[in-house]
Structure 1
């Protein structure tokens, strides 16, 4: 029995050895696209329960059960799943490719990148893809209305950059510029120099916590712009071409011949019509007796037989032409992108031109496992040459006058006044160019002996040359003048960045340390001369002028900064971020050279908790809260006393003044930078397997130590001194939602909607808070009031127009404004001024719908700004001289849309009278609008068709911009708020056609 037992046990041992011997041990290492090891990769053997994860070196070891499983399966967040046939091999070198959809969940933050789900600050990624086909010359035009809390203005001249504002106004007289960071380097050049097609992504740092990494320069928010890189695969050559026509969204016209005559009659209604109502024509009235003499034929004493439209002759439909070519690609150890393009734009007014030639070279290579080096560079050559007439000069010219005499020569001044013929710009020389050169050279060292530790050095350099030359025989009282202006700007940025990323069990650490410096300098020289008898040499022989002048200027500034940031994650759900930055700036005051800016943030990914892990409705839920401080850097000479040349001395009674240097403002060695401190609460969510996702933000921020020019008594001989006063509070909310409404194999319909609101309020002025004693604590002369918004409108209340037959007080007449006696004392005085509203809107909203069916893609985007009650008001009163009878109002033309009062038009909106009113009021109107801003339809041909043509991709598209606007605003576009301003410009409506070809 004992022998049998021993034999049986021996058999079991031998059998287990045999089974073990039949299990095959598999080993290997898993690397990413940059050949770096990836820890934490899941490794499974298909069809079995055998599995493991890679260690910190990316290595794995796993046993293959006998006769089971034919493939190794690898999976890791952010990378596409990979399967490898096992076969007879036992050692594997695996390289995983990034999941492009997952990459969209990685965003650029200051001095690094971060998974979107791990963000604790208010960071928004712009949807550039939906606007790639739009006829945009400037990259930030693609952001207009698409990001909640980011307000991008309109452009209405060729090659111009729209205004940019993040979360409202944070200052009175300080710097209002949003900080632009291009490929990790602060960028101070024109955004018009950047080719939109070269840009991969744009992130918006909206709150103090996320922007604190940029310290004293981030008080107005930050835009992070990242250019494209080559993607792994064969070289890709892409050519694109587009043409866009442009016409005004609202084209105002001027009075024609008949309307002009009626205008003159209404200005002289007391003669042209019979009393008492002045609506019956006076048969004895002779229009030539009141018409300007230049419009009357002196031989026949009749009106000249002309009906010339100056505004039509001086404007034209605009157009945009773009040609772009790029080649890109990547291998295991390098990537590259080389692009070139040319853009031509003609604006609404003749000679409003812009031409950009650009080239970009982005290269990156990894010569060793531990070293990466690269360069991101571009050159832009911008040409704005062309002397355009002012819109006011085109508007004012009468239809009875023409620009040419009977011999075909330009008439110097058709009205024989100091208003010159606007078409004289055809006969002048104008050269205006700006060349930009940008380069960011970087190196990255991954320390193999310390896992997760890396060092990056960035050296960025901007160089800009501007040349503005001109010559005109009509300047300087028609004696002739010429000038040459040269400007040169350069800067460098040197950043040293140490990063340590490591996971220890349930703990994730991401530590970033920064030490950097920036130096900027600028110089300019101008030479000009007047009284040039012969301008045959134009601006190239200034010594020909009798009067010769020269001026020059220069400045230099430097910054030094240090920053530390720690991102900590526990159990993949509890998030903590701490940041502190220290800034030094040569432009800070003598006693305030350094500033410290801290921030802290927490986050909780609730959906990772066990009680929500298997929830079928909530697929993602994260709560965020943060607190931080940023600064607003003052101008480089803000704290110093500055001087200018002016009349300074008079020697003796009746002596002539002598020019000298005068101080403009007092020095303030204790002037501080403005500090913006705020909190932000955020909620990120995804519902129904992320078919509906979005973010909700609520924020409050307070700007202290506002920089303000305090006026001084004139007797001191110095007009102002700059000091820190008061507090300005901002608060608001933002909602951004994205839904997948329909999704199947052939059809996809997605919707993105945004809604945001911002309100600001002045808390303190000159040390007094909103509970002060009243209006004497306000800065009335500057329009700033405690408890009101910074955009408060203060003035007289308009109460209609006086009519014939009314009881009219002295100083007023029929057709003048009726001013409301708000205090009821029976006298119209400064005491009757009240708060009429505010310039800021109540909220902004947008709606983007994208429809994709096989190769067709349709994008439809609506944008809206609404004023609510007494908000988003603009001055709509005409700037023309047509409101009061005098020589100029009779002589000059104006827009036909202006509804002036007259006895025959008693309901007219705008005042017009025989006399100047004792007191007038500005007329404000609501600028609210809804705009069909962008529509694009593109078609990508089937790959087989493209292949037959020798192409890898072929795409045709049509698009439109600013196609329709619904508003009650009058005059030029409501978004520009220019009303009936003679020098306003229209926003342009565009239709574009283009093609993209990829080889």
Structure 2
């Protein structure tokens, strides 16, 4: 009896002791040299409870009943998990994590260890992207990935343009493919940056070949956040700041304008007491803010993540703003041990108010929009006085930009629902069957209201001019887009001795559908509550509508093989069919092969102490591009065209007219690419790097070839496969990661890309013109031996100093070349020596494509403080100052520099002409350096230490201040050298949104 009671007492006491809180202590050291590791995260698994190690690597952790597993994690080291059991002292030795090469990255329809990849890929962590106050993650990626050029704009709601390893097409789409949780899309402006775990860029044809016809311009795979098992975690992140215009062009004030005008025209301008700064009138310092709240958690059977994000960018142009609300819900369910289901879904609602660059206000029969008007408007005209506007159109051929903004109301509303669901089943351990269905639905409503106003003295200080709108009008356009993609794959993973196999086969189907309808009606009341089409004058109605639809079907297979972790092989084949091409050319195959040799795993490398990793890889791949108009090969006819017989006196009879001449046999653009690279990690993986050479050639490139209009084509062009374009380049990436003492860690990273773009085979030798600038006509040409979209202009060889100089400038046969020129006019080179200056004298003057671009990224932490800076630079390219080139009226304003640097009788400069009224021909005078270097982001942060967090009863708290586009060094005299556009028209500044600089502060808090 006593023995039984004693046993029960002992058991009770033991149970009570186990049920009480326990204390675990210990130290954490480096496994290589035994040094103490301060700042190591010691966390109770499944909770937010944890402590950092102190300066001596020691820790003390309280465990509640049932808490029995601890994880130890630290940057640059492998995470270690320990089961406590009955231990009260746990000392841990952390092993160095060899460069993150054990990291698993997404490569398309699967995952691979970074060390096993044979193609050219790059990874950017979501936490790095979220630090920057930008609309899209793509902007934040600028300068962080070699071989990826990102051209961004400061306009609210705009998405940057991406070029992976140069321009590979002149017409077919240049947009990179985004894959968001399996959903294929061309636009991620709806994705909240805070939702992103990482972005994986597939750069070469070998890596992207698994996406076949979608991989020609590179693939960016985005993985969004998911929940993890454990108690619910709540996080809140925000930043609030101010945006301001940077790098504004200084325009002439009234005194400077009067001086220039009189010199150009010979008469003084009208007398005025005004000196209007038009950019100062329409621009402002604007607020921006973002807020994100996230809830995540789960069990071993299901996990969840719910996130709400709000972005408000006021815009530096008055009455301009962009607002976006995003919702994300990601769930994963482990139905059985071998059966898993997941759903990733997001919804976004955005409103873009008065984004004037999105729809050029052209209601008054004038060329250009708000920014063009602000550049050209004379400073002697007031902007607005006592409710009435200065009449710039009565003085010159340009509208009042303030009136453009205040008397036009444009709003673009967009709702977008994007999501995917998957089912993963493992009937046996080595086989995974997966099916996923993704969809992307978008509905946008564009509404533009033009208020009624007349060119009288009720509206303007002085009446007259052509800026008028006798009847109000409402223009409404509604667009609906729906895309779905269905993937089915089977993956076999087997290891037989030293042989590792992963074999993937599958099918994928994709369908896209879009339709839009627009309506215009005049005489609609000014009350916003009455802005409906049926309210206006029915006799003024105009309706239009159109649609688009295409589909793709694909079969794919990939084999990954590794022998003894030293010799790696990847072989891929994708067969694509596209409805955008005629039946006989609809299907094409896209193979690729990549191989790698991990030298550092060879026995002869084991005794050396330098290389932790040394890997040589090579690859070849082929991908396609079908991003052309859906009807490019379909002959279209316009019906009910009136045609009079017997001349004008005859009776008109309805007939039909061919709208366009087509090539019924157009085919795929094919990209073939070779890639050779060396990867390495040395000095205990403190220094890692990569050197990559690529040779990418696009064959059968689709371009528009001019044809005679007499054959019936309304555009005078035909789309056909007649060009080949080559990009060759070298990418270099270096990263250094180290620590000094116990409290200071730092990283230094840099990448540089050298790229040479060239048209190598333009069949028939018929060059393609582009880049129209006002009365100057074309400014670019695409021709053999030169980059796509090269500037093609007259060459200036000085300025005439006297009439005698004009007479003395003669061709070889004695003809005066510029007979109508005067002193102060440009002298243009007569290239063909025919005694005149015309388009036959144009020469190549560079292109917008850079010779090199690079990024530098630095980061450091000291105790609880952190610091990061990123720099991006672009060198060797040219831009065209189209604003100056489009100046066609002597009454237009001029830039301040032009006023003071111009040729005069006392200043015989040979680089700036005398005061003139514009209408200068396209020449290298307008071609300037596009090189620039910019501090993309600068951030300082402070994280509260654990002791303070315990008092506040929160898991984490970090404060930070940040600046985006803090400083830009550039030679270009215009607003910005970043000028997005299609390949034939890139690099021309006509009415670009001014570059913005942002100063912001925020916090990250976790519960």
Task: Flag whether TM exceeds 0.5 (same fold).
Answer: yes
Summarize deviations over 1:766-791 as a string: whole Å, max 9, x none. Answer: 16xxxxxxxx6655787232222224
CA contact (8 A) 1:706 1:725 kept: yes
CA gap of 1:147–1:73, structure 2 versus 1, over 3 A, is: closer
Per-residue deviation, 1:928: 1.2
Q: 1:249 to 1:806 in 2, by over 3 A?
A: farther
1:966 is aligned to 2:969: yes
Q: SS in structure 1 opposite 2:759?
A: strand
Aligned to 1:897: 897
Within the alignment, does 1:442 sit opposite 2:410 as a pair? no
1:876 paired residue number: 881
Matches within 5 A, 1:122-161: 122-161=120-159
> How many angstroms apart in 1 are the aligned matches of 2:547 and 2:279?
41
Matched, 1:612 2:614: no
Q: Out of 258-267 and 643-652, give the one that drifted further.
A: 643-652
1:912 Cα deviation from its structure 2 partner:
4.3
Distance 1:421 1:914, change over 3 A: closer
Separation of aligned partners in 1, 2:852 and 2:408? 46
- Asked if the contact 1:962–1:988 (Cα under 8 Å) also holds between the matched residues in 2, the reply is yes
Secondary structure in structure 2 of the residue aligned to 1:897:
helix
Match of 1:460 among 424, 431, 438: 438
* TM-score, normalisation: structure 2: 0.81
**Matched residue, 2:38:** none
2:401 corresponding residue in structure 1? 422
1:728 Cα offset (Å): 1.5
In structure 2, what is the equivalent of residue 488 of structure 1? 480
- Following TM superposition, by how much is the alpha carbon of 1:541 offset from its aligned partner in structure 2, in angstroms? 4.1
Q: Distance between the aligned counterparts of 1:589 and 1:78, measured in 2?
A: 55
Instruction: After TM superposition, give the deviation of residue 403 of structure 1 in Å.
Output: 3.8
Return 836-845 or 568-577, whichever deviates more: 836-845
Distance 1:73 1:474 in 2: 71
Alignment of 1:379-390 (within 5 A): 379-386=347-354, 388=356, 390=370
- The counterpart of 1:350, out of the listed 307, 311, 318, is 318
8 Å Cα contact 2:126/2:193 also seen in 1: no
* Alpha-carbon shift at residue 617 of structure 1 (Å): 0.5
Alpha carbons 1:634, 1:673 under 8 Å: kept: no
1:674 to 646, 669, 673: 669
Let me know the Cα RMSD of the aligned residues: 3.1
Deviation at 1:821, TM superposition (A): 2.6
- Counterpart for residue 992 of structure 1: 1000
Aligned equivalents of 1:644, 1:595: Cα separation in 2: 33
The aligned counterpart of 1:192 is 189
| Residue correspondence of structure 1 range 160-175 to structure 2 within 5 A | 160-175=158-173
Corresponding position of 2:92: none
Classify 1:646/1:421 alpha carbon distance in 2 versus 1 (closer, same or farther; 3 Å): farther
Describe the shift of the 1:563–1:259 C-alpha distance in structure 2 as closer, same or farther (beyond 3 A). same
Counterparts of 1:491-640 in structure 2, within 5 Å, are 491-531=483-523, 538-545=530-537, 546-635=539-628, 636-640=630-634
Question: Deviation of residue 268 (structure 1)?
Answer: 3.3
Aligned residue number for residue 244 of structure 2:
247
Out of 956, 964, 969, the residue aligned to residue 953 of structure 1 is 956
Equivalents in 1 of 2:886, 2:910: separation in Å?
16
Cα deviation, 1:661-694, whole Å, max 9, x if unaligned, reads: 5323234332111000111111111111111111
CA contact (8 A) 1:482 1:542 kept: no
Shift of 1:967: 2.4
SS at match of 1:260: helix
Tell me if the contact between 1:812 and 1:917 (Cα under 8 Å) persists in the aligned partners: no
Using a 3 Å threshold, how does the CA distance of structure 1 residues 893 and 829 change in structure 2: closer, same or farther?
closer
C-alpha deviation, 1:952, in angstroms: 0.6
Aligned partner of 1:695 among 690, 697, 714: 690
**Matched residues in 2 for 1:562 and 1:215: separation?**
10
1:219-258 counterparts in 2 under 5 A? 219-258=216-255
Give the distance between the partners of 1:915 and 1:982, measured in 2 at CA.
18
Distance 1:132 1:535 in 2: 41
Residues 748 and 583 of structure 1: is their aligned pair in 2 closer, same or farther, counting only changes over 3 Å? same
Matches within 5 A, 1:272-311: 287=268, 291=269, 295=270, 303-311=271-279
Task: Select which of 900, 903, 913 maps to 1:911.
Answer: 913
Deviations 1:191-232 (CA, angstroms, capped at 9, x unpaired): 221100000100110100110000012111111111011234
Does the CA contact (< 8 Å) of 1:133 and 1:957 recur in 2?
no
Q: CA deviation at 1:86?
A: 9.0
Deviations, residues 115-174 of structure 1 (Å, cap 9, x unaligned): 000000001112443443221121101110110000111212111111111000111211
Which deviates more from structure 2 when the two are superposed, residues 652-661 or residues 725-734?
A: 652-661
2:681 is matched with 686
Distance across 1 between alignment mates of 2:639 and 2:244: 46
Residue of structure 1 in register with 2:333 after alignment: 365
Which residue of structure 2 lines up, in the alignment, with residue 178 of structure 1?
176
CA contact (8 A) 2:479 2:517 kept: yes
* SS of the residue 1:496 aligns to: strand
> Could you say what secondary structure the match of 1:498 adopts?
strand
Q: How far apart are 1:894 and its partner, in Å?
A: 3.5
Structure 2 distance, partners of 1:733, 1:959, is 33
What is the distance in 1 between the residues matched to 2:849 and 2:550? 34
Residue 174 of structure 2 aligns to a residue in which SS? Answer: coil
CA distance in 1, matches of 2:801, 2:557: 70
The secondary structure found in structure 2 opposite 1:192 is coil
CA contact under 8 A between 2:321 and 2:355: conserved in structure 1?
no
Q: Which moved more, 1:583-592 or 1:825-834?
A: 825-834
CA, structure 1 residues 903+947, in 2 after alignment: closer, same or farther (shift >3 Å)? farther
Give the aligned partner of residue 707 of structure 2. 712
Once residues 264 and 396 of structure 2 are traced to their aligned partners in structure 1, the CA distance between those partners, rounded to angstroms, is 21
Deviation at 1:731, TM superposition (A): 1.0
* Aligned residues of 2:707 and 2:717 also touching (Cα < 8 A): yes
State the 1:254 CA deviation: 2.9
Counterpart secondary structure, 2:782: coil
Cα distance in 1, alignment partners of residues 988 and 696 from structure 2: 36
Alignment of 1:553-952 (within 5 A): 553-635=546-628, 636-643=630-637, 649-654=643-648, 662-718=657-713, 719-766=716-763, 783-808=781-806, 809-824=818-833, 826-867=835-876, 872-876=877-881, 878-879=883-884, 888-890=889-891, 892-898=892-898, 899-903=901-905, 905-907=907-909, 909-912=911-914, 921-923=923-925, 924-952=927-955
Aligned with 1:392: secondary structure? helix
CA distances 1:693-745 after superposition (whole Å, capped 9, x unpaired): 11111111211111122222222112333221132121111011111243443
Q: 2:305 aligns with which of 328, 337, 340?
A: 337
Q: Secondary structure at the match of 2:144?
A: coil
Residues 835 and 254 (structure 1 numbering): CA distance in 2 closer, same or farther, change over 3 Å?
A: closer
Quote the residue 2:62 is aligned against.
none
**Bigger mean CA deviation after superposition, 808-817 or 433-442:** 808-817
Q: Matched residue of 2:208: which SS? A: helix
Deviation at 1:994, TM superposition (A): 0.6
Deviation at 1:508, TM superposition (A): 0.5
Residue 109 of structure 1 deviates from its aligned partner by 0.4
Structure 1 residue runs of 5 or longer lacking an equivalent are: 1-70, 89-97, 272-286, 296-302, 768-775
Q: Matched residue of 2:346: which SS?
A: strand
Instruction: Indicate the larger mover: 432-441 or 744-753.
Output: 744-753
Task: Report which stretch shifted further, 904-913 or 948-957.
Answer: 904-913
Note the C-alpha offset of 1:426: 2.1
Q: Does the Cα contact within 8 Å between 2:801 and 2:823 map onto a contact in 1?
A: yes
